[in-house]
Amino acid sequence: MKIIRRILAAGLSLAMLAPAGAQAANPEPRQMRGVWVSSVYNLDYPAKTTTSADALKSEADRILDNCVKTGLNTVFFQVRPTSDALYDSDIFPWSHWLTGKQGTAPADGFDPLAYWVDGAHRRGLELHAWINPYRVTRDKNWDGLDPANPAKVHAGWAVKYTDGNYYYDPGIPEVRELVVDGAAEIAENYDVDGIHLDDYFYPGTDFNDAATYQQYGSGFDNIADWRRDNVNQLVAQLDEELHGIDPDLQFGISPAGVWANKSTDPRGSDTRGGNESYVKAYADSLAWIKSGTVDYIVPQIYWEIGHSAADFATLTDWWISKTQGTGVKLYIGLAAYKCHDSSTPTWATTDHIFDSLDYIAARPAVSGAVLFRYGSLDAVSGLRDDLAAWYKEHTGADSAPESAFPDEKNAATFAGVFTLFLSALMR
């Protein structure tokens, strides 16, 4: 069915592009207009835990409808916020962020991811399944983990960090296999358009993995290089496995906005950001770009143009310089959440968001942006309407992700004919 839908979609897309023989010779490349939908802490979905299928469906419909109204074309749906699942998994237990208790399924056999994928595609949206690769807990509640959780089943795979939470040890080969198997399960069973990892790799430099390093770290001069290699291995394994399942599947990662400051590494940006992902999370994004083990990268550049330590323009240009000519698409992560965060008074208006969007729009090497997060679009008065207006002006998006048939009768006719063709082909 997955292959069929993609073939049908491709056929429909051809007709959409040339409804009356008027297809442009060189259509504009698709621009990312995305948003992250967070499930951890019940930030976006669900707003509160429930087992009710009707409630979960209604909330999903509202969010997806609003994404279309905003002019967005891609949803990054967090389906594994910790070592759990917002989908029917044979590997991870149902998420307590979903139903209130880890391991408890929604009522009536409801599968949120399946519903979101179908709902997104019916509305013309792409859906990328967003997973956290190594995070086991976010509420410090080890006892709340389901007995079938892999972290409990496999003693020694999880490490308690200084923040009180538990993380899988990236240096254990079986842990990497677990992450890969979990991603493959999604790719095989759901018609997602992409698999997406966020920036949670190693939680910090003081991670308690000395014993693992002693066991697996031979050949490395220091633990830092070994840790980066562990993450690089995971990314390469995911790339191979996922594209083996579906060559068209998009695989991407959203690292922290500062890879490294130039003062730390001469390859780094001219910044003074404190959260250097190359150093703190051992996420070597440049290695992934160089090797082509990701299809896209979404650095979270959560600062404004002119920021004294991490200037948005400086960082955007740096990421352009590292991705240009590589075949890896560059999207920019934007901090919509700061517009309603009282701790950032310089973001009291939405001006920084639109200044950043304008900056991106003037640079063809950037293929679009992703907003963090959905709830911020509701929380900030006027932001949703202003975004819709901006997207319409700059991309031609008019409340719908991409152009559709101007003549619904022609659309229906083509779809019917194409479906008959596929049916005949499969007999």
User: Please, are residues 169 and 209 in contact by the beta-carbon 8 Å criterion?
Assistant: yes
- pLDDT digit string, tens, across residues 109-154: 999 999 999 999 999 999 999 999 999 999 999 999 999 999 999 9
CA gap 200, 198 in Å, rounded: 6
Find all residues with CB under 8 Å of 227, minimum gap 6, and list them. Answer: 170, 171, 202, 207, 209, 282
User: Which pLDDT belongs to residue 344?
Assistant: 82
The neighbouring-strand residues paired with 196 are 130, 252
Tell me, what's the pLDDT at 9? 45
Q: Tell me which residue has tokens 């669900």.
A: 46
From CA 249, how far away is CA 242, in angstroms rounded? 7
Q: Contact 157/230 with Cβ under 8 angstroms? A: no
Query: ∠ at Cα 148 (146, 154), nearest 5°?
Result: 110
User: What is the CATH code for 30-426?
Assistant: 3.20.20.80
Cα–Cα nearest to 340, from 375, 314, 291, 369 = 375
Closest CA to 93 of 150, 38, 131, 48: 150
The three-state secondary structure class of 130 is strand
Residue 422: what pLDDT?
44
DSSP state of 159: E
354 vs 186: CA distance, rounded Å:
35
Widest Cα–Cα separation across the chain: 67
What pLDDT is recorded for position 3? 53
424 vs 206: CA distance, rounded Å: 61
Low-confidence stretches of the chain (pLDDT < 50) are 7-26, 400-427
Sign of CA dihedral 9, 14, 20, 25: positive
Question: Residues 326-377: pLDDT tens digits?
Answer: 999 999 999 999 998 878 889 999 999 999 999 999 999 999 999 999 999 9
- Report which DSSP code applies to 105: P
DSSP string for 278-311: HHHT---HHHHHHHT--SEE--B--S-TT-SSS-
C-beta atoms surrounding 100 within 10 Å: 14
Residue extents of the structural domains in the chain: 30-426
Query: What's the confidence (pLDDT) of residue 399?
Result: 54
Count other Cβ atoms within 10 Å, centred on residue 36.
27
Helix (H), strand (E) at residue 140 = none
Which of 21, 20, 68, 11 minimizes the C-alpha distance to 400? Answer: 68
Instruction: Decide if 286 contacts 299 (C-beta within 8 A).
Output: no
